[in-house]
């Protein structure tokens, strides 16, 4: 009996449990912190953890492209996409310049990412087809849907007004809404980071073959 696949899978579960547990602990910590009358606001540890995971996701994808020349297109595209999402998450700081200042910065990064990917245009479809067959794909889709679909829909005020049966959410009720919405986003970003790590490991193992 070959135990290597079982051991490898067990190690992955343990390692990936670390960022998941860290995210849960950050949410637990923020639950008891009130800043300017708000819980889970823009300056919360949950928000900072989201931004950290986005940064790590971007860097990991970009490093995968640097490591493997045959995967530059998808790596720069996904790495740039994560960086765009990071800039959007930092909108409150860009707004100190002027309202909506994050947008031109995000578009600049997106343009650079698309340009770098286009320079490797012969790889794009091949990279995507290959990515769809990797373990990273399922995790990436789960994270993407958690952040950009589930948390957005579940975090709408209409859902929480109906849940609490009120016309207007009181502060405590808004804190609950914020906790669920931001917590869902954080878990999604955690999954995207794990997907990036999976892809980096996949690329590295393929280079050794």
pLDDT for the residue 154: 87
Indicate if the pLDDT at residue 122 is higher than 80.
yes
pLDDT for 111 equals 95
Q: Is the pLDDT of residue 2 over 80?
A: no
pLDDT value at residue 114: 92
Annotate 125-183 with DSSP letters as a single string: HHHHHHHTTSHHHHHHHHHHHIIIIIHHHHT-HHHHHHHHT-SS--HHHHHHHHHHHHH
Question: Where are the domains positioned within the chain?
Answer: 4-208
| pLDDT for res 97 | 85
Global confidence as pTM: 0.92
Q: Which residue has the higher pLDDT, 157 or 20?
A: 20
The answer to whether the CB of 131 falls within 8 A of the CB of 199 is yes
Tens digit of each residue's pLDDT (9 = 90 or more) over 32-68: 888 777 888 888 899 999 999 999 999 999 999 999 9
**Mean residue pLDDT across the chain:** 91
Mean pLDDT computed over 121-147: 92
Measured in Å, how far apart are the chain's first and last C-alpha atoms?
23
* Comparison of pLDDT for 135 and 187, the residue scoring more: 187
Angle, helices 45-67/72-89, rounded to nearest 10 degrees = 160
Mean pLDDT (whole number) for 19-23: 95
- DSSP-based three-state secondary structure for 106: helix
The β-bridge partners of 35 are 38
Encode pLDDT of 89-111 as tens digits.
998 888 888 888 899 999 999 99
- Residue 107 tokens read as 């578009």
Q: Using one digit for the tens of pLDDT, what is the confidence trace for 152-176?
A: 898 888 888 998 888 888 888 888 8
Query: Which of 25 and 171 is assigned the larger pLDDT?
Result: 25
Instruction: Look at residue 1 and tell me whether its pLDDT is greater than 70.
Output: no
């Amino acid at each position: 009996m070959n135990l290597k696949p079982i051991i490898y899978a067990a190690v992955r579960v343990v390692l990936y449990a670390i960022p998941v547990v860290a995210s849960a602990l950050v949410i637990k910590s923020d639950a008891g912190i009130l800043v300017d009358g708000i819980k889970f606001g823009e300056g919360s540890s949950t928000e900072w953890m989201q931004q950290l995971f986005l940064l790590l996701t971007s860097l990991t994808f970009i490093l995968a492209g640097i490591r493997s020349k045959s995967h530059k297109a998808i790596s720069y595209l996904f790495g740039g996409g994560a960086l765009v999402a990071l800039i959007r998450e930092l909108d409150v700081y860009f707004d100190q310049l002027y309202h909506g200042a994050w947008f031109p910065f995000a578009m600049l990064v997106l343009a650079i990412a698309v340009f770098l990917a286009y320079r490797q245009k012969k790889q794009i479809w091949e990279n995507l087809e290959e990515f769809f067959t990797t373990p990273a794909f399922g995790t990436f889709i789960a994270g993407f849907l958690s952040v950009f679909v589930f948390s957005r829909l579940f975090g709408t005020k209409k859902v929480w007004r109906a849940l609490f049966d009120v016309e207007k959410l009181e502060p405590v009720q808004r804190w609950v809404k914020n906790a669920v919405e931001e917590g869902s986003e954080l878990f999604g970003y955690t999954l995207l980071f794990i997907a990036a790590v999976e892809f980096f490991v996949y690329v590295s193992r393929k280079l050794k073959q």
